[in-house]
Amino acid sequence: MHTAAAAAPEARTLDDLPGPRPMPWLGNALQIQRERFHQQLEGWAGEFGTPYVVRIDARKLMVVADPEVIQGVLRARPDGFRRNERVETASRELGFLGLFSANGDTWRRQRPMVLAGLDPTHIRQFFPALLDVTQRLQRRWERAADSGTPVDLQADLMRFTVDVTTALAFGQDLRTLEADGDDTIQKHLNVVLPSLIRRILSPVEPPAWLRRWRERSLRPHLQVLGDAVNGFIASTRAQLQADPSLREHPQNLIQAMVAARDREGSGVTDADVAGNVFTMLLAGEDTTANTLAWMVWLLHRHPQAAQRARAEIDEVLGGAGTLSSIDQLHRLDVVEACAHETMRLKPVAPFVIAQALHDTLVAGVHVPRGAAVVCLMRPGGMNAGLFPQPETFDPQRWLDAKEAGHSFASAKRATMPFGAGPRMCPGRYLALAEIKLAAAMLLANFEVESVEPLRGRDPREVFAFVMAPERLRMRLRRRSTARAAAA
């Protein structure tokens, strides 16, 4: 991909591309099914090849699936492409314009303070607290196993990720894993997230007065979340006042952000701090929790892979039920391979929308300024040339690739679970640590009797803010109980 002031003579235009047949005026808007939009995009890619175009009223969305083309688009951010402006507008109006949704100078201003709080060094320092939250999840699941109560898998995993995120990023221990009922912060996040994606994917951007009317039901949820965010910030200011050394040596992300806000000439605003607190809650909860949910389901469906992962965990832990150091976590190569294979087959971010900041060429097609390029993330991972029998869940492929070195890098460039380029997900180290810890705890301590949706055997893929399995129920029994029964 390269940028040009005008289209090269041989370049195709968006009008030259194939795509689903549009209706007059509306284009393909009435064909879009929001909950399975990612599958529709993938299906059209199979039918028309890529690039192709989807028309929504007067807008044309160019869809690409080639990993090399996607790499070029993602690496051209933030100067050549930006987040879709609807994401930024909706996030600003709802009060959480953070690093994920910001563009331009706002993104550049926020990026250093967020990256500093999520680097591997901070994850290592935080490991004891991360382990403590994992042990809370274990105790919760032990109670479910002992009582024969099915586990609401996604709900529990979201409690887990929220407790991790708030403790690491904000120094606040919400302990939602120990709360009963559905009156936790997830209750409010689970209302706000679907509303955001509906707004982003709406075929027509409604006028401001209509948006406010439609979103009136969000106000109580946004109020609760806003109060929580303001509470985190107020608590942090008190900590910095009591111990000024924390301004130079912050212990968590929010301390770093507030200290940056107060530094003369930083350009960081109160809105930047609040927006990134919101963003951490929203993005940190859904993506990791749903990747874990897919991984648990896939391991249950593939008992040989689960048994191999369990054998590695037992060896690393020496028969103990819990990890004791981050070095043990780094030795869980099979578990990490299971995570990569899950993200290849079930990417929770199945597409990325980038908006051209100026006229450019993408895959030999002239993309005018303001047009959107939709990057499909799953097809690259289904390439039989890179991934033999791509429909099969086979973690061994990642172990073989890692041993080969260059093959592992090629595989990751094809799948890009955390994106690519300057806007690669800053929380990737934390996400992998959470995934490996939760999976190790589950396999070391429990036998999974079943994982299934309320209806049917295979969960549907449901696209809301992320691509999630429909609600899964899991039944567990303790491994010691299983061994005693077998004896």
pLDDT at residue number 303: 97
pLDDT at residue number 170: 75
Is the pLDDT assigned to residue 16 strictly greater than 90? yes
Q: What percent of the chain has pLDDT over 90?
A: 50
pLDDT at residue number 23: 92
Whole domain around residue 392: which residue ranges? 2-486
Using CA atoms, how far apart are residues 150 and 445, in angstroms rounded to an integer?
16
* CA-based nearest residue to 250, from 269, 229, 236: 236
Pairing of strands 365-367, 12-13: parallel
Cα Dmax for the chain: 76
* pLDDT (average), residues 45-61: 94
pLDDT at residue number 181: 58
What is the tens place of the pLDDT at every residue in 54-111?
998 888 999 999 999 999 999 999 999 998 777 777 777 776 677 677 778 777 877 7
* Rounded alpha-carbon distances, angstroms, from residue 184 to 132, 178, 259, 471: 19, 10, 29, 18
Tokens of 245: 């050394």
Q: Are 322 and 343 in contact (CB under 8 A)?
A: no
* pLDDT (average), residues 420-446: 92
pLDDT at residue number 380: 96
Q: Are 292 and 438 in contact (CB under 8 A)?
A: yes
Q: Are 133 and 284 in contact (CB under 8 A)?
A: no
What is the tens place of the pLDDT at every residue in 129-153?
899 999 999 999 999 999 999 999 9
pLDDT at residue number 150: 96
Is the pLDDT assigned to residue 253 strictly greater than 80? no
Q: What's the first-to-final CA gap in the chain, in angstroms?
A: 63
| Cα 343 → chain centroid | 10
Give the CATH number for residue 31: 1.10.630.10
Using CA atoms, how far apart are residues 433 and 412, in angstroms rounded to an integer?
18
**Residue 347, preceding peptide bond in cis (omega within 30° of 0):** no
What is the tens place of the pLDDT at every residue in 284-303?
678 899 999 999 999 999 99
pLDDT at residue number 3: 46
pLDDT at residue number 293: 97
Please tell me whether 375 is known to bind a ligand: no
Q: Are 472 and 462 in contact (CB under 8 A)?
A: no
**Which of the two residues, 389 and 266, has the higher pLDDT score?**
389
**Which of the two residues, 93 and 482, has the higher pLDDT score?**
93
* Band of pLDDT at residue 204, cut at 50, 70 and 90: low
Tokens of 420: 């690519």
Is the pLDDT assigned to residue 5 strictly greater than 60? no
Is the pLDDT assigned to residue 203 strictly greater than 80? no
Beta bridge partner(s), residue 121: none
Using CA atoms, how far apart are residues 320 and 324, in angstroms rounded to an integer?
9
Beta bridge partner(s), residue 82: 355
Q: Are 178 and 162 in contact (CB under 8 A)?
A: no
The number of folded domains in the chain is 1
Pairing of strands 52-56, 59-64: antiparallel
pLDDT at residue number 427: 83
pLDDT at residue number 406: 66
Tokens of 302: 């593939």
Q: Are 20 and 45 in contact (CB under 8 A)?
A: no
User: Which residue spans within 52-100 are E strands per DSSP?
Assistant: 52-56, 59-64, 81-83
- Strand order of the β-sheet with 360-362 is 2-3, 360-362, 365-367, 12-13
Using CA atoms, how far apart are residues 92 and 102, in angstroms rounded to an integer?
9
What is the tens place of the pLDDT at every residue in 366-408?
999 999 999 999 999 999 999 999 999 999 999 998 887 767 7
**Which of the two residues, 458 and 103, has the higher pLDDT score?**
458
Is the pLDDT assigned to residue 443 strictly greater than 60? yes
* CA-based nearest residue to 110, from 83, 74, 71: 83
